[in-house]
Amino acid sequence: MAWLVVKYLITSMVVVAVSECAKRSDRLGGLLAALPLVTLLALVWLYVEKQPAEKIANHAWYTFWYVVPTLPMFLAFPWLLPRLGFWPTLLACVLLTVVCFAAFAWLVKRFGINLL
């Protein structure tokens, strides 16, 4: 149980640190947010918890494919924000990501990559 609390604390500290940096510098906050910090932490946690190498490698593999359809959201969000406000923009971007993900999963399935 203590290990789980340590994992939560470290992981949440990373998220808070990124948001605090973003308050001070748009560029630094964006750079830190673009880094795969959550993925790196997940890989570390999987390794420390003695998961098989294949499971760790699969996590990295699928993370790559799941990131690609999220990228349009980062272009749509700044364009929509002044037009719709924060919450409608966030909702629109979530819906956009779901649509992009479904389309992307359909596309890559033709190449033998099953995301769903």
pLDDT at 93 over 90: yes
Q: How many angstroms separate the CA atoms of 47 and 60, rounded?
A: 12
pLDDT tens digits for 26-67? Answer: 899 888 888 888 899 999 999 999 999 999 999 999 999 999
Q: From the CB of residue 10, how many other CB atoms can be counted at a distance below 10 Å?
A: 12
